[in-house]
Amino acid sequence: MKQVLIAASLAVLAVGAAQASGGPAPKKTGIEGEGYVWNAQEGEKIEALKLKGDVKKGKEVYEICGACHLPSGAGRPDGTFPQLAGQHSTVLIKQMADIRAGLRDNPTMYPFAATMTDAQDLADVSAYIESLCIPTDHGNYDQADKMLQVAKGRSLYKKECKECHGDNGEGVKDKFYPVIAGQHYAYLLRQMTEIRDGHRRNANPDMVKIISKYSDKDLVAISAYQASLKMPGSMCK
């Protein structure tokens, strides 16, 4: 009950801050829109990447994030909130900057992201999240056909996904390709479905082209395989 009240209080504070700053972020054109560059070297993202993140200050900024993503950064297995622990700081900065700038639609997270004051906050909180150990309970696909789905997903992944996300789903930090190994299955499936269907406006156009031909069953299999992979980094004891 105490955790629920804390989360509710934080949400009220975040919404109030967002309203004070002028309301929801304006929508900017994404994916194939005119003038859209997926990894444009400009804006708040670039400012934050040039700064050295302060882990101690980032922990303070993260307190409001922990209401949804949990203090451990473990997220929620039901796919509502991704695991952040173990993710590249560059990816974290890009996604938060895109949400703040209106390039990625996330009405749940926007009020919280809007409470950050500047690029330094982005650098600090990303440095803190990257410092977290990786929770042991994550990524589970616990359906009866797990072995079949993982085998099918491995085949699809090796064919078209590993070039960007790596042999083991470790991503590429300096190219903003996220760690997808061990991410919650339900979150992976939801995001890939949204990317395929054109609803994730800040998605990499190259990825959109690749998975636009995949069926729902294909996405289930790939998500199951990715969730089964071991996340790189330091595991929690």
What pLDDT, in 10s, does the model give residues 52-79? 999 999 999 999 999 999 999 999 999 9
Nearest to 165 by CA among 153, 150, 176, 152: 176
Q: Return the higher-pLDDT residue of 21 and 52.
A: 52
The DSSP letter of residue 23 is S
pLDDT level of residue 27 (50, 70, 90 thresholds): confident
Span 129-180, pLDDT tens digits? 999 999 988 898 999 999 999 999 999 999 999 999 999 999 999 999 999 9
Fold of 146-228: Cytochrome Bc1 Complex; Chain D, domain 2 (1.10.760)
State the greatest distance between any 2 C-alpha atoms of the chain, in Å, as a whole number. Answer: 51
CATH 1.10.760.10 residue window(s) in the chain: 2-131, 146-228
pLDDT level of residue 221 (50, 70, 90 thresholds): very high
Res 20 pLDDT > 70: no
Res 1 pLDDT > 80: no
Nearest to 104 by CA among 31, 47, 177, 43: 31
Place of tokens 């994916």: 31
Per-residue tokens: 164: 């960007």
Distance of CA 229 to the CA centre of its chain: 17
CA distances (Å), origin 57, targets 47, 111, 126, 201? 17, 20, 11, 31
DSSP 3-state helix, strand, coil percentages of the chain (rounded to 5)?
50, 0, 45
- Asked whether 112 and 13 are in contact (CB, 8 A), the reply is no
- Asked whether 97 and 45 are in contact (CB, 8 A), the reply is yes
Q: What is the pLDDT of residue 39?
A: 86
- Asked whether 32 and 205 are in contact (CB, 8 A), the reply is yes
Identify the CATH assignment for 2-131 out of 1.10.10.10, 1.10.1240.10, 1.10.760.10, 3.90.1150.10.
1.10.760.10
Mean pLDDT for all residues in the chain: 90
**φ and ψ of 91, to 5 deg:** -65, -45
> Where does 21-173 have alpha helices with state H?
43-49, 55-62, 66-69, 89-101, 110-113, 119-131, 146-160, 162-165
| Residue 129, helix vs strand vs coil | helix
Q: Return the higher-pLDDT residue of 194 and 30.
A: 194
Q: What is the pLDDT of residue 25?
A: 65
Share of the chain above pLDDT 70, in %: 88
pLDDT level of residue 2 (50, 70, 90 thresholds): very low
Res 191 pLDDT > 90: yes
Stated pTM of the model? 0.89
Lowest mean per-residue pLDDT among 18-22, 107-111, 119-123: 18-22
